[in-house]
Amino acid sequence: MKIKCLIIDDEPLAINILKNYLARFEGFEIAGTYGNAVEAFNNSGECPADLLFLDINMPMLNGMEFLKGLNAPPLTIITTAYREYAVESFELNVIDYLVKPISFSRFIKAINKAKHLLKTDAPYNEKNGNGNGNDTDNIQRSIFIKVNKKMIRLAFNDILYIESLKDYVRIKTLHEDFITHENLAGMSKLLPSEQFLRIHRSFTINLMKVKSIEGNCVEISGKLLPIGRNYQKHTKQLILDSCCC
């Protein structure tokens, strides 16, 4: 079953770039392209697509207003030339925020995230690729930790955040907590740096699980975690860029 994609952008060149990128992957179908949000709404009603690529600055109705007006918005990837709307966008539960000009490597990361959220298992392979799945996304996606006397496998994508307990850490997942004998610095080194970030002397977070940023805190699964003073200089931008990851 193909993933139906809708592209809304007032720049024809931007639409063509996204169409060309999507054409390199199997499993996608472009359900429509529109030059402004009003046209898209009039022709598509409540946006019957699985995945929406949405520009922000458009005439008559901007992308944010369009998204807020949908009763059941599809998975949405923002495509814009402006960085300043990132926080507001993620508060609307967009899954990624791509800043133009959008590189193909950056686009691949967004596509893989969309596929994961649409309940599929493996990263997309390009058409005409080797198709064997032996790419960097498949090298290591989990880790073994020792809990009591048992070795337990944890998928990176299941981890929400890790909390320091002095000589131990608590690994918080959506359904269960695990405590293992390791300090936070050592544990953080075992995690992929493109997905995990230390934001405080007591917390390392999964960037993909950040729901919002409020003041000097990030929200993950309903819990506010502090950004430490020594980590504040670059942390917020790194979170926004990698929410983009």
CATH number at residue 91: 3.40.50.2300
Same domain? For 163 and 113 the reply is: no
pLDDT at res. 95: 86
Q: Report which of 115, 74, 79, 123 is spatially closest to residue 244, judged by C-alpha positions.
A: 79
pLDDT at res. 192: 80
C-alpha to C-alpha distance for 76 and 125, rounded to whole angstroms? 21
Q: What is the mean pLDDT of each run of 10 residues along the chain (245 residues)?
A: 90 94 89 90 71 94 90 90 84 87 88 76 42 39 82 89 93 92 86 86 92 89 91 77 56
Structure tokens at 102: 């959008």
pLDDT at res. 141: 74
Q: Is residue 177 a part of any domain in this protein?
A: yes
Q: Is residue 150 a part of any domain in this protein?
A: yes
pLDDT at res. 208: 87
Same domain? For 187 and 92 the reply is: no
Same domain? For 105 and 147 the reply is: no
Q: Is residue 15 a part of any domain in this protein?
A: yes
The number of C-alpha atoms within 13 Å of 170 and in the hemisphere containing its C-beta is: 9
pLDDT at res. 242: 62
Same domain? For 91 and 36 the reply is: yes
pLDDT at res. 135: 37
Range of the domain at 227: 140-243
Same domain? For 98 and 149 the reply is: no
Q: Is residue 135 a part of any domain in this protein?
A: no
pLDDT at res. 177: 94
Same domain? For 14 and 107 the reply is: yes
Structure tokens at 40: 């898209």
Same domain? For 239 and 151 the reply is: yes
Same domain? For 98 and 169 the reply is: no
CA distances in angstroms from 72 to 48, 49, 50, 63, 93, listed in the order given: 9, 10, 11, 15, 12
Q: What's the pTM value of the predicted model, to 2 decimals?
A: 0.53
* Cβ atoms of residues 40 and 47 within 8 Å: yes
